[in-house]
Structure 1
């Protein structure tokens, strides 16, 4: 693979990393949120180094980060995450990483 192709793949991986994602994590606990976030990124070939997510000061939402290793170059990136009660699924939580 030439240098230009490698750079394009790295840019595509970085774009996927920070594009954000929102999925229902079911029962709102830190453990289920962590599992959902981990599964989402691993399905996209990122290696998940660490997920830290815990209730925020309000006690209603969650906040934290995920440390992900990009599949194309091994570069690690830390992305902020948040989760809040889902409007579409009462009792469920929707999480989002990478978008402010």
Structure 2
């Protein structure tokens, strides 16, 4: 697959994961924890897809500069890492909202 398409796959999967994570937060505020947890699970699947692509690029590069580093590639990596953080925080916030709702 062409590098531009590979990079766009990372961006698209990360973007979908971020959207799903924020949707989970909204659902948890509405106390729909089952739906929130489903969104978080879907977000994790998207992150896993993006991470697999990232891993394949790293393996292809082998630390030897075989994969050209472009601004779009850097953007994709940044997008993925911030999405992973957002999803992890969403998991914690949904859990906190659930705890508060049970009191």
TM tier, shorter chain?
Answer: 0.3 to 0.5
For normalisation by structure 2, the TM-score amounts to 0.37
Higher relative contact order (CA 8 A, sep 6+): 2
Identify, as 1 or 2, the structure richer in strand: 1
Greater Cα radius of gyration, structure 1 or 2 = 2
